[in-house]
Amino acid sequence: MLSRTARRLVADVPAIAAAHFEAEADPYHATDNPGGHVNLGTADNRLVWDLLAPRLAHAGPPRASDCQYGPLHGTPELRAAVAALLGPRWNTAIDPDDLVVVSGATAALDVLATALCDPGEAIVVPAPYYAAFDTDLAGRSGARLIPAPMDETTGYALDPEVVGRVLKRARGDGVAVRALAITSPSNPVGHVHPGPVLREVLRVAREHDVDVIADEIYAHSVFGADPFVSMLDPAVSGDHAHRVHGIWGFAKDFGLPGLKVGVLHTRDPDVRAAARALAYFAPVSTQTQATLTRLLDDALWVRDFLYESRRRLGRSYASAAALLADGGIPHVEADGGFSIWIDLSGRLPDPTPEGEHELWRRIFHSARVNVLPGAVFGCPRPGWFRLCHATDAGTVAAGVVRLARVMGETT
């Protein structure tokens, strides 16, 4: 018989992973497989491989030192390179010793949740929230998530007052809340949170004595007019800086999701010691660490790559947004990330979670478009879906056309 932890995990198969592999097994192609699945469900940056391939080839084959034991929380070389990359973006000097490298951002989130929470303790998440938080933050750690529902009328903008209210109510109910977890830019909505809003959220976290898990894995994938502001920026975190733990990785900003390299930053010596101990169970191949160290070792290449990636993401977003408008599909304006938060509530058979699931089934099975429903993001109102646009424009267009047709159909 399985352990309780195992039974809980087996019961909660991550929806994102399952839909992704089903859609990828029979992918749409304009000429070769026009009836295939259009996968707009996976937050994958497929716009930059042409830039990466020559640079990765340049790194050359693995050397002996790339294949030997390294410190299990990341090689000093990779941590130094990541510190140099993230410091300017986070607007604060990063000590490489405050970084812990683990096998994916999922593992980094799991490490933080496990370090901070005993089973049954809680993490508050503004909703809609990154769907995999259910597994990443709560799956192994045994923590539980408490959504703080944002308001549809503001396009689900981050609202510090709601966060404060949920924290207060949870404490009133006797729940031990240990952390607040926020994605910035937000996933799924695509907002870059303004500095004053983040400042106020961190003030609320401090007031309620909770740590902050700042998931900034899209930190370099910002293309809107407003500048990105990090939760680790001292002007934002202020007195609470040692309680703000940053998450980053190579999956999104560098379009290398298979490499499973996540990074965690903390200035709390206890959390750092715990994270290093937990990293023992999820280390990264030294080969891959060496490859990424060499990827980052030319600052000019990195600057140009990130600039071009942002430019392509901005174009991809603008093109998808225009198609959605043409198709009569409302969406929230995005400043960053790979996704668009679209409103299909006008087509719900019923304004209920069941109605949303019914619509999702029609879209996935009949229209063969993979867009994830609001339910998996804990969205407070049914009918919203996440559409990922960072893939080739023809595929995105085919998906939007199919969605527009669903929206126009009489049921």
- Pick from 131, 139, 100: nearest CA to 279: 100
What's the rounded Cα separation, in Å, for the pair 266 and 241? 9
232 φ/ψ sector (left φ>0, alpha ψ -120 to 50, else beta): alpha
* Closer to a copy of itself by Cβ: residue 102 or 344: 102
Map the footprint of a copy of itself across residues 238-257, applying CB under 8 A: 255-257
Q: Is 39 in the site for a copy of itself (CB under 8 A)?
A: no
Q: What is the dihedral of CA 402, 374, 13, 158, to 10 degrees?
A: 130
Q: Is 221 in the site for a copy of itself (CB under 8 A)?
A: no
Stretches 133-141, 324-332, 368-376, 397-405: which one binds a copy of itself (CB under 8 A)?
133-141
Residue from 186, 230, 266, 288 that binds a copy of itself (CB under 8 A)? 288
Are the C-beta atoms of 384 and 343 separated by less than 8 Å? Answer: yes
* Closer to a copy of itself by Cβ: residue 190 or 262: 262
Number of Cβ within 10 Å of residue 135's Cβ equals 19
Residue 386 beta carbon to a copy of itself: minimum distance, rounded to whole angstroms: 16
Q: Is 120 in the site for a copy of itself (CB under 8 A)?
A: no
Dihedral (CA of 284, 287, 289, 295) sign: negative
Q: Is 121 in the site for a copy of itself (CB under 8 A)?
A: yes
Number of Cβ within 10 Å of residue 350's Cβ equals 11
* Closer to a copy of itself by Cβ: residue 104 or 126: 104
Residue 25 beta carbon to a copy of itself: minimum distance, rounded to whole angstroms: 11
* Closer to a copy of itself by Cβ: residue 5 or 366: 5
Residue 166 beta carbon to a copy of itself: minimum distance, rounded to whole angstroms: 22
383 φ/ψ sector (left φ>0, alpha ψ -120 to 50, else beta): left
Q: Which residues pair with 144 in a beta bridge?
A: 122
Q: Is 205 in the site for a copy of itself (CB under 8 A)?
A: no
Map the footprint of a copy of itself across residues 52-111, applying CB under 8 A: 52-53, 56-57, 59-62, 64, 66-72, 103-104, 106-107, 110
Q: Is 395 in the site for a copy of itself (CB under 8 A)?
A: no
Side-chain-side CA neighbours of residue 246 (13 Å): 32
Residue 21 beta carbon to a copy of itself: minimum distance, rounded to whole angstroms: 7
Q: Is 10 in the site for a copy of itself (CB under 8 A)?
A: yes
Residue from 162, 241, 277, 348 that binds a copy of itself (CB under 8 A)? 277
Q: Is 380 in the site for a copy of itself (CB under 8 A)?
A: no
* Closer to a copy of itself by Cβ: residue 257 or 383: 257
Write the interaction track for a copy of itself spanning residues 144-183; mark x where CB under 8 A is met and - where it is not: ----------------------------------------
* Closer to a copy of itself by Cβ: residue 9 or 397: 9
Q: Is 284 in the site for a copy of itself (CB under 8 A)?
A: yes
Residue 162 beta carbon to a copy of itself: minimum distance, rounded to whole angstroms: 27
* Closer to a copy of itself by Cβ: residue 158 or 390: 390
Beta-strand pair 177-183/211-215: parallel
Q: Is 259 in the site for a copy of itself (CB under 8 A)?
A: yes
Residue from 31, 270, 365, 410 that binds a copy of itself (CB under 8 A)? 270
Q: Is 141 in the site for a copy of itself (CB under 8 A)?
A: yes
Burial of 71 (0-12, 13-18, 19+ CB in 10 A): middle
Q: Is 17 in the site for a copy of itself (CB under 8 A)?
A: yes
* Closer to a copy of itself by Cβ: residue 16 or 229: 16
- Pick from 291, 234, 220, 257: nearest CA to 92: 234
The site for a copy of itself, by CB under 8 A, has a size of: 72
* Closer to a copy of itself by Cβ: residue 65 or 352: 65
DSSP letters, 56-111, are HHHT-SPPGGGSS---TT--HHHHHHHHHHHHHHHTS---GGGEEEESSHHHHHHH
b/e for 302-314, b at 16 or more Cβ within 10 A? Answer: beebbeebbebbb
* Closer to a copy of itself by Cβ: residue 17 or 299: 17
Residue 64's alpha-carbon distances to 68, 77, 288, 308, in angstroms, are 7, 15, 13, 34
Beta-strand pair 244-249/262-265: antiparallel
* Closer to a copy of itself by Cβ: residue 92 or 289: 289
Are the C-beta atoms of 127 and 164 separated by less than 8 Å? Answer: no
Q: Is 32 in the site for a copy of itself (CB under 8 A)?
A: no
Cβ neighbours of residue 302 under 8 Å, at least 6 residues apart? 85, 295, 296
DSSP letters, 177-236, are EEEEEEESS-TTT-PPPPHHHHHHHHHHHHHTT-EEEEE-TTTT-B-SSSPP--TTSHHH
